[in-house]
Chain A
Amino acid sequence: MPDDQVNRRNFVKYAGAAAGTAALAGCGGNGGGGSGDGGESSTSGTQSSGDSGARPVKWIGPAWSARDPQLEKYTEVTGNEIESTIASIPSTQQKILSGGASNFDAVSLETSGIGALQKNGAVDPIPKSDLDGWNKDDIAPLFTNPGERVGYLDAQVDTMNDYLWEDSETREKLSFPPHVANFDSVGYNPKYVDSSGETTTWSAIFDDKYNGKVAMDSISSIAIPETLMHLADNDMVDVSTSELNNPTKKQIDAAVDFLIKQKNQGQFRALWSAYGRSVNLMSSEEAIIGDIWQPACFDIRRTGTPCTYGTMPSSGPQGYRYWWGGITPVKPGASQRNNLSEVSSLLQDVHWSAWFPRFIHNWGYTTPNYVNTDLVRKGEDETGRGMGAEYYDWAYRGKKTYEQIDKPNLFSPADYDWSWDEQTPAKNGMERDCGPVDDRIDRIGFFQIWPDNASYMLDSWKDFRSA
């Protein structure tokens, strides 16, 4: 055999050299996979004694929905051992729909992610009568009566009720009861982006001024409605308010075509789907504006980079991206493991408590029980104390902080010393981005769901991603 040929022995020898290199390199060729979504999944736990059901109670969901202090609080309050599996939204869906439905008691997702589980019968709705906290005095009308509170969203209200209730007509069982909610907007770096206007719209991320400086969300069910609002506002597409969160194929085409043009013109510095990547892009100033999450804005500030979270206008088709995160029993896991009541308790005793609103607002999230001011503002229960006057009024009523804030675009609520007692807000105090909660609710653009034309949307989205 000529020496320049590859035979089995020298193949093995050279391959061995490369494989040895790879071994030494820690298989560095691929450098590991993952989307950067904070890891596909990991498990943590707390400890305590139990009662009738299987222990530990098993809870699966994304990191933002199930943080360790929430587990610890559950154990503290109920005495039940609980364990969480942290996974990205697709990974959570995958684990439950691929045979894991018997292994978990509770799942937490957001509204566009839960649809897959609901449609495939993987959630076990909770009877309203099992949740004492679910009443119009303790839960915001945005949830208990969206038709009245945000009727201006037309048929989008129906999708809210469809996601919330097992049967939106009878309203006996809650299919996806909320524990957090938010009104997402555009985040920007005020050093480079003009913030003199009172409001910001989604159109800002498509503004030529910011060409090559935009961090764009790459999740289709989010990016397409955002784009549709911009197009509708500029008479570039025919779309009604009812259709914004559930677009037709033609509207999807219009949005994707527009986004492909934007991408080809270099409008986007980078696409992001993982939370950390959006923070990284903005904090390093690679991007100066983007459709980022509100907690990301706080994390950007913590790195020392200023960030403002835009206030949406009170009229026109553009408005906040509204979604809620919820906790619901997994079917058949929760009933098989005799933990249905434990899941109800996890929701009600921990997340509709006095303690949770303060804890979670450090990331900017709203809780559905914020209307229960006796409890959330200055009340307390077995979970601890509520938010206190200053924090509550700042978070929900649009009041300024009691202390002067010199650098509001670097302000982080988690690092501020909030006063429990009511005092006079400082003249140079800071107001929360996006204003009072009622203003935010009045300015919703679309409610985030998994649309009916999802398959078509995903196929179209591949055109955008490959452009």
Chain B
Amino acid sequence: MSTSDSTKRNRDEEAARTLFGRSLEFSEVHALTGPTVLWFVVFLLGPLALIVVYSFLTYSSFDVLYEFSLAAWTQSVFTANTASVFARTLVMGVGVTALTLALGYPVAYYMRFHLSETAGTLLLLFLVIPFWTSGIIRALGYYPILGKAGVINQLLIMAGVLDQPLSWLLFSPFSQLVGYLENLIVFMIAPIYISLSQLDSDLLDASETLRGDPVDTFVNVTWPLSLPGVTIGTIFVFVLTIGNFTIPTLLSSGSSTVSTFIYLTVSSGLRYPSAAALSLTLLAIVLAVVYALTRKVDLTEIAEG
């Protein structure tokens, strides 16, 4: 076999391998991402496009006409009434997120620094156990607790603290807040706990060695390193709060949030264009909040993995 033949054969094999390798890589990538992409296209982008289209259609008494119209936007979204509902919902979202953070962070901190890893995980599981009961049942469960004839009021009356039951315990902003906290606090605790679990203990020792007191150590070491968990927890709690349906429906005295407003729009007269426009507005707000919270993400590092 001549040298030139051997060189040619090596070149061909390399070309084939490269081609095969590229081909393999190509098919691997597509095989791995294809189902996910297809899933998102069929079940996310497709329906979303449909919602966008519907928001520009004409409504006529229980019927949607395929005629372009801005009425759903001008009459249902850009109104003072809708703005107040969005404002109320966002205020509730911010308030609940702040409270869950204030109450959830110490729990996560305790689980990380005062319990063993096994005990921490076990406690996390305990926090989840109430969720094995339906959210509707748990919301209704507040009636015998916070109601006028509920446990708290009756105990306070029996103890002589009250003459009349407190009516603001139930069907009020207070009862909604309690419901949201109970539902969502675990979504704040879990990511913060995971974040704190990754924290290198040597850094805390180093802070102490450098004469940092516990407060300094927390402010300069623990808190900054737990921010990823705080951010993720904030996103989850905020988004779940403003999209929640059960709690404002069952624990408020009848005040609307965006989600109950959308339901009202559909359930009374099947006004799909208005419901679509409201849903898209809510989606835009959620995306804006998520974007704002994750704006520090380095896209290059994401690409590099």
Contacts of B170 in A (CB 8 A): 286
In the complex, the answer to whether A4 meets B227 with C-beta atoms within 8 Å is yes
In the complex, the answer to whether A14 meets B228 with C-beta atoms within 8 Å is yes
In the complex, the answer to whether B263 meets A458 with C-beta atoms within 8 Å is no
**Quick one: CB contact mask for A371-398 with B, threshold 8 Å, 1 for yes?**
0000000000000000000000000000
Q: A5 with B128: in contact, given A31-B136, A212-B167 (CB under 8 Å)?
A: no
Q: How far is the CA of A25 from the CA of B301 in the complex (A)?
A: 32
Does any Cβ of B come within 8 Å of A454's Cβ?
Answer: yes
Chain B's nearest CB lies how many Å from the CB of A12? 10
In the complex, the answer to whether A280 meets B143 with C-beta atoms within 8 Å is yes
In the complex, the answer to whether A93 meets B270 with C-beta atoms within 8 Å is yes
In the complex, the answer to whether A270 meets B228 with C-beta atoms within 8 Å is no
Chain A's nearest CB lies how many Å from the CB of B233? 7
Contacts of B297 in A (CB 8 A): 5-8, 11
In the complex, the answer to whether A24 meets B298 with C-beta atoms within 8 Å is no
Contacts of A466 in B (CB 8 A): 81-82, 84-85, 88, 255-256, 261
Max chain A CB contacts within 10 Å: which of B124, B135, B167, B256? B135
Chain B's nearest CB lies how many Å from the CB of A193? 15
Chain B interface helix/strand/loop/mixed: helix
Does any Cβ of A come within 8 Å of B63's Cβ?
Answer: yes
In the complex, the answer to whether B135 meets A28 with C-beta atoms within 8 Å is yes
Does any Cβ of B come within 8 Å of A412's Cβ?
Answer: no
In the complex, the answer to whether B246 meets A94 with C-beta atoms within 8 Å is no
**Quick one: CB contact mask for B268-305 with A, threshold 8 Å, 1 for yes?**
11110000000000000000000000101110011001
User: Which residue of chain A has its CB nearest to the CB of B297?
Assistant: A6
Interface size class of B (residues with CB under 8 A): 35 or more
In the complex, the answer to whether A14 meets B229 with C-beta atoms within 8 Å is yes
In the complex, the answer to whether B245 meets A94 with C-beta atoms within 8 Å is no
Contacts of A286 in B (CB 8 A): 143, 147-149, 170-171
* B136 contact from A29, A32, A120, A458, Cβ within 8 A: A32
Q: How far is the CA of A15 from the CA of B232 in the complex (A)?
A: 6
Contacts of B148 in A (CB 8 A): 284-286
Q: How far is the CA of A34 from the CA of B253 in the complex (A)?
A: 17
Q: Which of A115-129 contact B (CB under 8 A)?
A: 116, 119-120
In the complex, the answer to whether A6 meets B143 with C-beta atoms within 8 Å is no
In the complex, the answer to whether B187 meets A18 with C-beta atoms within 8 Å is yes
Chain A's nearest CB lies how many Å from the CB of B76? 8
In the complex, the answer to whether B228 meets A8 with C-beta atoms within 8 Å is no
Max chain A CB contacts within 10 Å: which of B186, B261, B267, B268? B268
In the complex, the answer to whether B75 meets A459 with C-beta atoms within 8 Å is yes
**Quick one: CB contact mask for B140-171 with A, threshold 8 Å, 1 for yes?**
10011001110000000000000000010011
In the complex, the answer to whether A17 meets B254 with C-beta atoms within 8 Å is no
In the complex, the answer to whether A270 meets B254 with C-beta atoms within 8 Å is yes
Of the listed stretches B44-52, B111-119, B188-196, chain A binds B188-196
Contacts of A205 in B (CB 8 A): none
Does any Cβ of A come within 8 Å of B62's Cβ?
Answer: yes
Contacts of A273 in B (CB 8 A): 267
Contacts of A7 in B (CB 8 A): 297-298, 301-302
Q: A36 with B249: in contact, given A5-B297, A18-B232, A454-B269 (CB under 8 Å)?
A: yes
In the complex, the answer to whether A97 meets B62 with C-beta atoms within 8 Å is yes
Contacts of B99 in A (CB 8 A): none
Max chain A CB contacts within 10 Å: which of B125, B131, B134, B305? B131
Chain B's nearest CB lies how many Å from the CB of A109? 12
Does any Cβ of B come within 8 Å of A35's Cβ?
Answer: yes
User: Which residue of chain A has its CB nearest to the CB of B263?
Assistant: A35
In the complex, the answer to whether B225 meets A3 with C-beta atoms within 8 Å is yes
Does any Cβ of B come within 8 Å of A21's Cβ?
Answer: yes
Q: Which of A255-272 contact B (CB under 8 A)?
A: 263, 266, 268-271
Q: How far is the CA of A9 from the CA of B224 in the complex (A)?
A: 18
Does any Cβ of A come within 8 Å of B264's Cβ?
Answer: yes
Q: How far is the CA of A397 from the CA of B107 in the complex (A)?
A: 66
Does any Cβ of A come within 8 Å of B250's Cβ?
Answer: yes
Does any Cβ of A come within 8 Å of B207's Cβ?
Answer: no
Does any Cβ of A come within 8 Å of B61's Cβ?
Answer: yes
**Quick one: CB contact mask for B198-241 with A, threshold 8 Å, 1 for yes?**
00000000000000000000000000110111011100100010
Max chain A CB contacts within 10 Å: which of B167, B254, B256? B254
Does any Cβ of B come within 8 Å of A10's Cβ?
Answer: yes
Chain A's nearest CB lies how many Å from the CB of B194? 4
Contacts of A33 in B (CB 8 A): 245-246
Contacts of B81 in A (CB 8 A): 462-463, 466
Contacts of B252 in A (CB 8 A): 270
- The 6 A-B residue pairs whose C-beta atoms are closest, nearest first, are A31-B135, A25-B131, A271-B254, A28-B131, A14-B232, A29-B240
8 of the cross-chain contacts (CB-CB < 8 Å) are: A6-B232, A8-B305, A13-B194, A29-B240, A32-B134, A32-B136, A97-B63, A268-B254
Task: Taking A1-B298, A93-B62, A285-B149 as given, write out 16 further A-B residue pairs in contact, using a Cβ cutoff of 8 Å, ordered by the A residue number.
Answer: A3-B225, A14-B191, A14-B233, A17-B193, A18-B232, A29-B183, A30-B244, A31-B139, A36-B250, A218-B254, A286-B143, A462-B265, A466-B82, A466-B256, A466-B261, A467-B255
